Amino acid sequence: MTRNLLKAERVSYIDQRLDELYPKPPVPLDHADPFTLLIAVLLSAQCTDQRVNQVTPALFALADNPFDMAQRSTESIREIIRPCGLSPQKSKAIRRLSEILIAEHAGEVPQDFTSLERLPGVGHKTASVVMAQSFGVPSFPVDTHIHRLAQRWGLTRGRNVVETERDLKKVFLRERWNDLHLQIIFYGREFCTARGCNGLVCEICTTCFPARKHPKKIHKP
């Protein structure tokens, strides 16, 4: 009888397979420095990375640093970022955080979670992406996509992204966190989509759980 892999076996296989498929995963959001990455990640809330990358060239032509962004009107920012959704809140956050960066951080993006998460529009996930990809600090940003895959792969029983992040950090080596969060995102988009795989279709799901007979029920955050 075919058996499902034990958790330690799943972790080892997933880690190795993702690194084979995506050995040097790029950051999917176009950016030039910590500030432009911060803004791009903020815009990506409830919006696709592809749409953000279509919008940010015009936004960064308007202002690509906090000193210039703080001088722009909220309305001018909002008009550009409208396609990303939630533009009233996001435009206010972008202008206000630019002012705070100037007033409290000499115009630089801070390199600690506490300061980042105090900025308007910046939650733990956004801060984690910036810390991981701009400053190389081991982090494991978890969004709804990673939350879904981690459940399908039996890596967490977390009912929200906070619990899932905690569980993933426990099972994977710290030096792998920054790449893994990107590798999981790329794999999910390509093979284990919300509608394309229900825990019974993709390579990782079927390898980890060959004896699974029914779609995996997901706890949505």
Catalytic residue among 15, 24, 64, 143: 143
pTM for the complete prediction?
Answer: 0.92
Residues of the chain within CATH 1.10.340.30 domain(s) are 34-133
Nearest to 129 by CA among 18, 23, 34: 34
143 is an active site residue: yes
Q: pLDDT for 126-145, tens place per residue?
A: 999 999 999 999 999 999 89
For residue 1, is pLDDT > 60? Answer: no
Catalytic residue among 30, 33, 49, 125: 125
Residues of the chain within CATH 1.10.1670.10 domain(s) are 7-25+140-208
Cβ atoms within 10 Å, residue 205:
21
**Separation of alpha carbons 182 and 24, rounded Å:** 9
Write down the CATH number for the domain with range 7-25+140-208. Answer: 1.10.1670.10
The CATH T-level fold of domain 34-133 is Endonuclease III; domain 1 (1.10.340)
169 is an active site residue: no
pLDDT of residue 55: 98
